[in-house]
Amino acid sequence: MVELLEQVRAARAEEDYSALSRMFPYASLIGIEVEPDECSGADPGQLLMSMPYRDDLIGRPGSGSLHGGLLGAFLEHASIVQILWNGESRYLPRIVNFHIDYLRRGAQEKTFAGVEIRRQGRRVANVHALAWQGNRQRPIAAARGHFLLTPPE
């Protein structure tokens, strides 16, 4: 775990966003990419994650819709990466709770995610995350979660 945190610090120092995807085998498997969020109004240090559409990521064969579990995992991963990128946690964030609202069907196109850390203390981070396709103002899923930032017992 310490090695992972050191890799995140090194990536942040070098502004190597692609390193964040390579650190997590799951992110590499589904093709998650990370870049700075250059949307107007985005805070410095805010990340934008993207996931390409692939046929093996659909939920029900023939529906063409992204699997709901995949969307949830994408938002969870984006939240953890954003907390790590902010650099205020000395430990790998662990989920306390994570609630997902599925707002509309995930279509056959690239999906994006952005995370806002609403509050971060010494022990817990409170995050809100959105996933969208094409139009950021029309999210396909939203999540709220709390992450524990203390060492595992």
Q: What are phi and psi of 132, to 5 degrees?
A: -150, 165
Q: How many CB atoms lie within 10 A of CB 22?
A: 13
Mean pLDDT, the chain, whole residue set? 88
Superfamily of domain 1-148: Hotdog Thioesterase (3.10.129.10)
3-state DSSP assignment of residue 76: helix
Whether the per-residue pLDDT at 69 is higher than 80: the answer is yes
pLDDT tens digits for range 138-147 = 999 999 999 9
pLDDT digits (tens, 9 = 90+) for 75-106: 999 999 999 998 777 788 999 999 999 999 98
Give the HSE-up count for residue 69: Cα atoms under 13 Å, Cβ half-sphere: 4
The Cα 26–Cα 82 span in angstroms is 16
**pTM, two decimal places:** 0.90
Partnered with residue 75 across adjacent β-strands are none
Residue pair 70/54 in contact by the 8 Å Cβ criterion: no
CA gap 90, 42 in Å, rounded: 24
Asked if the model's pLDDT at residue 73 lies above 80, the reply is: yes
User: What is the residue extent of each domain of the chain?
Assistant: 1-148
Instruction: Quote the CA–CA distance of 13 and 78 in Å, as a whole number.
Output: 19
Please report which confidence band the pLDDT of residue 2 belongs to, taking 50, 70 and 90 as the band edges. Answer: low
Give the mean pLDDT of 31-54. 85
Query: Is there a contact between 146 and 124 (Cβ–Cβ < 8 Å)?
Result: yes
